[in-house]
Amino acid sequence: MSLASLFTTAALADRSADEAVIRKALGKIKPDIVEPAPINGLYEVVVGPHVVYMSADGRYMLQGELIDMVKGVSLTEPRRQAATKALLDTVSEDDMIIFRPKKVKHVVTVFTDIDCGYCRKLHGQMDNYLAEGIEVRYMMFPRAGVGSESYKKAVAVFCADDRNAALTDAKRGKKLDMKTCDNPIDRHMQLVRQLGARGTPFIVMEDGSTQAGYVPPKRLAKLLDQAESR
């Protein structure tokens, strides 16, 4: 075995030992990724969409942005975005309500509350988002919680024969057929809690970056174009 191979094997063994120590220190928390951070002796730990940094001995944890001062960029945000995107990729299209333009240029996921004023404003401009080539994938976030009127409306929408039409009717304040059925609303709420969202609408872009609150169609299209060019 070459000297280089010996060093590589030793480094991998050290990394494996450090990872085991960190996982043990986290107890019941099961990280998705544990790998060396750009700073010696520090590890990047990813749990769902959350990114923290831990010392190799598992004693210290840092929460916040790791900034490359030479390049002037966050090293944390790309990882967070990738983790957010991976989390949303676990959701089937069957568990979303999708408004799709004839020619799709961009895709966003929007967590919405039927009774939220700015959510209704966003939905009222759906034709404008579609005209910008933006596909809108809805998931539900009834902020008042399970069993609330907003929650029941979300269930009714998902149980309707035509979900898109039912959602539009609900956003306009029309009376719904309050059906119940197996539905993904609880799963949506679990996801949005993992993402740390507190309000609606909550928009997740294609790259996993997020926008809290209403964003006008042309502004959203510009943000998506900028993200794509980076």
User: Same domain, yes or no, for 66 and 164?
Assistant: no
pLDDT of the residue at 4: 39
Q: Average of pLDDT values for 21-36?
A: 91
pLDDT of the residue at 7: 34
pLDDT of the residue at 10: 38
**DSSP per-residue letters across 22-71:** HHHHHTT---SEEEE-SSTTEEEEEETTEEEEEETTS--EE-S--EETTT
Domain for residue 80, yes or no?
no
Domain for residue 161, yes or no?
yes
- Given a cut of 80, whether residue 137 has pLDDT beyond it is yes
pLDDT of the residue at 17: 82
Domain for residue 91, yes or no?
no
Non-local CB neighbours of 156 within 8 Å, separated by 6+ positions: 166, 170, 176, 177, 178, 179, 180
Domain extent, residue 20, equals 3-75
Using CB atoms within 10 A of its CB, is residue 72 exposed (0-12), middle (13-18) or buried (19+)?
A: exposed
| Beta-bridge partners for 43 | 36, 54
Please give the model's pTM, rounded to 2 decimal places. Answer: 0.83
Domain for residue 83, yes or no?
no
User: Tens digits of per-residue pLDDT, 141-193?
Assistant: 999 999 999 999 999 999 999 999 999 999 999 999 999 999 999 999 999 99
Domain count of the chain? 2
Indicate which CATH number applies to the domain containing 59: 3.10.450.70
Domain for residue 189, yes or no?
yes
- Given a cut of 80, whether residue 230 has pLDDT beyond it is no
Indicate which CATH number applies to the domain containing 138: 3.40.30.10
- Given a cut of 90, whether residue 138 has pLDDT beyond it is yes
User: What is the Cα–Cα distance from 137 to 205, expressed in whole angstroms?
Assistant: 11
User: What is the Cα–Cα distance from 199 to 35, expressed in whole angstroms?
Assistant: 32
User: Same domain, yes or no, for 55 and 164?
Assistant: no
Give the orientation angle of helix 149-159 with respect to helix 163-171, to 10 degrees: 150
Give, in degrees to the nearest 5, the angle at Cα 14 between 9 and 15.
95
- Given a cut of 70, whether residue 9 has pLDDT beyond it is no
User: Same domain, yes or no, for 106 and 208?
Assistant: yes
Q: Which residues are known catalytic residues? A: 113, 116, 119, 143
pLDDT of the residue at 14: 61
Domain for residue 106, yes or no?
yes
Residue 137's CB is within 10 A of a number of other CB atoms, namely 18
Work out the mean pLDDT of the chain and round it to a whole number: 90
Yes or no: say if 68 and 57 are a contact pair by the CB < 8 Å rule.
Answer: no
- Given a cut of 50, whether residue 1 has pLDDT beyond it is no
Instruction: Please name which of 132, 121, 137 lies closest in space to residue 221, comparing C-alpha atoms.
Output: 132
Quick one: what percent of the chain has pLDDT higher than 90?
80
User: Same domain, yes or no, for 49 and 117?
Assistant: no
Q: Supply 48's token pair.
A: 């769902």
User: Tens digits of per-residue pLDDT, 69-122?
Assistant: 999 999 999 999 999 999 999 999 999 999 999 999 999 999 999 999 999 999
- Given a cut of 80, whether residue 2 has pLDDT beyond it is no
Q: Supply 122's token pair.
A: 């966003």
User: What is the Cα–Cα distance from 4 to 10, expressed in whole angstroms?
Assistant: 10
